[in-house]
Amino acid sequence: MKAVINVNSRTYAIYIDKPLDISIPLRATKSNVNAWYINEPSIEPVEMDDFIVSVKHGAPVNFNNIKFNPHAHGTHTECVGHITEKKYSINQCLKQFFFVAEVVTVAPEKLADDFVISAKQLRFAIGNKKREAVIIRTLPNTKEKLTQQYSNTNPPYLLEEAAIYLKNKGVKHLLIDLPSVDRERDDGELLSHNAFWNTDGKIRTEATITEFIFVPNTIEDGKYILNLQIAPFENDATPSKPVLYKLYE
């Protein structure tokens, strides 16, 4: 089904019945993707006075409690409140949900004991394109990303210069298939988070970072419409479901 949408005063045609979901679902298993040294998420029925509220145990409904951490357990979108003493809510910061986005594929480069994404790589991948959102797929890109246990593995990350480049280019929404844009252990410096949100100047409260996405190899690099769907949590981060649509101008 073809639809016409207007994004920033420009009209695009998309097929709304052909969404490209780039989120990782949250599952209550040890194979759920994980980071930051905590246990897997849990989804369990409520127990009241020795009564288990699930259809399996004779209740009329399933009534589950869910325990998880948005930063550790799957695709999530965060605002600057993730790193500031002042509270900012992603539900208040993100008020628009459709963006023109560019998908780029990057092979992180070796730097000392790390693998990193540099400004030079992004400059080459993005070129002179102007996009509100940039979606970074890293190589190698295998389905192991759906179940990877990242704690204590020093995964690849963005160099501060790369985050500065994206900020200066006017990118407001950064999506990446890694657990963080920063090094796993960096003594709390969070250089790329701080640079992207410009915490040393006028904070970019409207800007977001989405981590733990998965961009299948069937999705080509290029220009898309991004629908960045979030759960309305009044928190610095929320589980999210970014969906891409091929566009036809």
Q: Where are the beta strands (DSSP E) in the chain?
A: 2-7, 10-15, 20-21, 42-45, 47-48, 51-52, 64-67, 76-78, 98-106, 109-111, 114-117, 133-138, 157-158, 173-176, 208-211, 222-230, 237-248
pLDDT band at 187 (very low <50, low <70, confident <90, very high): very high
CB distance 136 to 181 below 8 Å = no
Each residue's pLDDT tens digit, 151-161: 999 999 999 99
Q: Which residues pair with 226 in a beta bridge?
A: 99, 244
* Top-level class of domain 2-25+71-248: alpha beta
**Letter for the amino acid at 49?**
D
Taking 80 as the threshold, does the pLDDT of residue 34 lie above it? yes
Taking 80 as the threshold, does the pLDDT of residue 216 lie above it? yes
pTM: 0.96
Asked if omega into 232 is within 30° of 0 (cis), the reply is: no
Rounded distance, CA 87 to CA 236, Å?
7
User: Could you tell me the two tokens for 128?
Assistant: 């002179």
Q: Indicate the domain borders of the chain.
A: 2-25+71-248
Rounded distance, CA 222 to CA 246, Å?
9
Nearest in space to 114 (alpha carbons), one of 18, 192, 5: 192
